[in-house]
């Protein structure tokens, strides 16, 4: 039986690209498992269901090697689990050398393992480089004076007077926040940084 697996994060928009590649490989929709995850977690309920269903000699198609895991170790662990424990074949569509259906002799397995390790390392290294480039870009932008996030809302017209009354102890922070129609924590923060 042939299966396909798709994983995208909430930030990515490449689900259709992966789906098209699996359809072109002849995988029907009923045998395609799909996970969408946030960047902060790596829970993959569809992947877990698929792994339970896989039987010896089934074939799993994935678009690229990094669909198996977030990092080098995870990719290698999943590859070992699928190919050695579950005894299924794996086809990585972006990398024809990673097709365990061919060259099942010792040399073929050895070459496949080497390619897998190199590609897993490259995938993790590229993710690391992307994160570094992002942080360098943000730092450079901040040095140029570019601000990130929402621009601050203008203070209400009555803020200065209300802030003065609060600092004089004439009204409480809760009353001042209500007068200015803003949350208490926001009022306190703005009031502490407000120059009279």
Catalytically active residues are 9
Q: What is residue 65's DSSP assignment?
A: G
Q: Where are the beta strands (DSSP E) in the chain?
A: 2-9, 32-37, 59-62, 89-92
Provide the sign of the torsion angle of the four alpha carbons 22, 25, 27, 33, taken in this order: negative
What does the block give as tokens for 118? Answer: 């190199």
The pairing of beta strand 89-92 with beta strand 32-37: unpaired
Contact call for residues 25 and 91 (beta carbons, < 8 A): yes
3-state SS class at 134: helix
Q: CA 139, CA 137: separation in Å to the nearest integer?
A: 5
Provide the sign of the torsion angle of the four alpha carbons 64, 69, 71, 76, taken in this order: negative
């Amino acid at each position: 039986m042939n299966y396909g697996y798709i994983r995208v994060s909430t930030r990515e928009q490449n689900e259709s690209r992966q789906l098209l590649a699996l359809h072109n490989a002849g995988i029907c929709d009923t045998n395609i498992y799909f996970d969408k995850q946030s960047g902060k977690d790596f829970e993959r309920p569809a992947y877990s269901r698929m792994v339970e269903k896989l039987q010896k000699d089934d074939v799993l198609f994935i678009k690229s090697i990094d669909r198996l895991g977030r990092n080098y170790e995870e990719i290698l662990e999943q590859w070992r689990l699928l190919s050695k424990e579950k005894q299924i074949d794996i086809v990585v569509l972006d990398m024809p050398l990673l097709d365990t259906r061919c060259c099942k002799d010792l040399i073929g397995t050895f070459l496949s393992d080497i390619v897998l390790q190199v590609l897993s390392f490259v995938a993790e290294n590229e993710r690391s480089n992307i994160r570094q480039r992002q942080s360098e870009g943000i730092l450079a932008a901040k040095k140029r004076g570019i601000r990130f996030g929402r621009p601050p809302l203008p203070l209400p017209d009555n803020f200065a007077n209300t802030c003065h009354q609060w600092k004089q102890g004439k009204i409480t922070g809760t009353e001042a926040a209500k007068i200015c129609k803003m949350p208490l924590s926001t009022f306190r923060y703005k009031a502490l940084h407000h120059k009279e």
